[in-house]
Amino acid sequence: MATVADREHVDRARACLCVLCGLPAAGKSSLSRSVSLAARQRGWRAAVVQYDELISDQAFHTRKAGEEVTSQEGRTEWKLHRNAVLQCLEDFLEKEPELSGNSNIDGPAWDRCIRTLLTPVQADAEPLLFLLDDNFYYPSMRYEVFQLARKYSLGFCQVYVQCPLDMCISRNEIRPRPVPAEVIAEMAKRLESPNPKKNPWEAKSITVDTADDLSECDIQQVMELISSALSDPLSPVEDDGEQKEADRQKCAASVVHRADQACRRLISEAMKKARETGVSSQQMRSLATQLSESKAQFLQNLRSHFLQDENFSPGEDIDVDHLVKTAVARFDSERQEILLKVFQNHFHF
């Protein structure tokens, strides 16, 4: 008769993707090394996937001298290299135990990362553990890892490495290759830690405070989380259309809301300018009506266009600032035309 332990072994995922997220110098690398050692002591095969080692700084400075790079191009190129890391992981999961690589990451660094995993695979082999060490400050970045784990029915969990900003900056200063302090400060503003209430897929997440030295209790806590994830592998989803539509609606609402706020400010400025010009009360009412109707139509069109965009996918990094700015510029052009007509009528009479 099979024991509980036997059943758990049969049901256990063959691998777990564990995301370590947090600010630079928060202590992610130290934690990943300690957890990796603890995993190997259990007989597991473990590898630390350090994005800083796999993605060279030079990867973002390949343009010719004097050639400008827009912020959107920078984000696209940056995402390309991040995706290359996940592609290497996927290749390894499919082709194990072969070495695999990608031209968009450091080949030798990747070989060093997985060489300890290249052991003969037996039917009852112990699980693989990949500790993904990066900032992962947006949920969308972590969601891509979740999708990979779900695709192959792997375990998935997250560890938020929490550390005060001033301490991260202080630790960073003594690093061989320090990150500019202003970059860390800006990242702290943008960082969104795992939130299971908002994102159910982040259910298996814990926080480890690294303001003090790591303790055995911290390591044990992470190991228990990973064991739980291995015992509860994700199920592939054939059709996530409902989730895509929900994410699309949510992002559209955010874009429209911000555009609405920007349009209100522009309308307020237009009304103030008309009032200072001495426009009559009747023309002021007409102006207010025209601008209000124009805004309503603009927001309706914006939402419809966004929802019909087939390129949108869940977890995708959307440059909301750029999208809103570009869209509102179109409304501003129409606002100027309406205002000009009102001024022409005012001075004509």
pLDDT higher than 50, residue 10: no
Give all strands of the β-sheet with 15-21 in edge-to-edge order.
45-50, 128-133, 15-21, 155-162, 205-209
Bigger pLDDT: 323 vs 247: 323
Token pair recorded at residue 70: 């827009």
Q: Are 161 and 31 in contact (CB under 8 A)?
A: yes
Structural domains of the chain, ranges and CATH numbers in brackets = 10-231 (3.40.50.300), 241-348 (no CATH)
Token pair recorded at residue 17: 């993707």
Burial environment of residue 47 by CB neighbours within 10 A (0 to 12, 13 to 18, 19 or more)? buried
Q: Within a 13 Å sphere around the CA of 191, how many CA atoms are in the beta-carbon half?
A: 21
User: Residue 254: what pLDDT?
Assistant: 79
| Candidate from 58-67, 90-99, 152-161 with smallest mean pLDDT | 58-67
Cα angle 34, 235, 314 (rounded to 5 degrees) comes to: 85
User: Residue 82: what pLDDT?
Assistant: 77
Task: Respond yes or no on whether the N-terminal peptide bond of residue 97 is cis (omega within 30° of 0).
Answer: yes
Position 152: which residue type?
Y
pTM for the model stands at: 0.63
Q: Are 212 and 160 in contact (CB under 8 A)?
A: no
Q: Within a 13 Å sphere around the CA of 343, how many CA atoms are in the beta-carbon half?
A: 14
* Cα–Cα distance, 195 to 25 (Å, whole number): 22
Query: Which DSSP symbol is given to 60?
Result: G
Overall residue count recorded for the chain in this entry: 349
pLDDT tens-digit readout, 264-317: 999 999 899 888 888 888 888 888 999 999 988 888 888 877 666 645 554 455
Number of other residues whose CB lies within 10 A of the CB of residue 124: 6
Position 258: which residue type?
R
| Candidate from 59-73, 192-206, 251-265 with smallest mean pLDDT | 59-73
Q: Are 88 and 102 in contact (CB under 8 A)?
A: yes
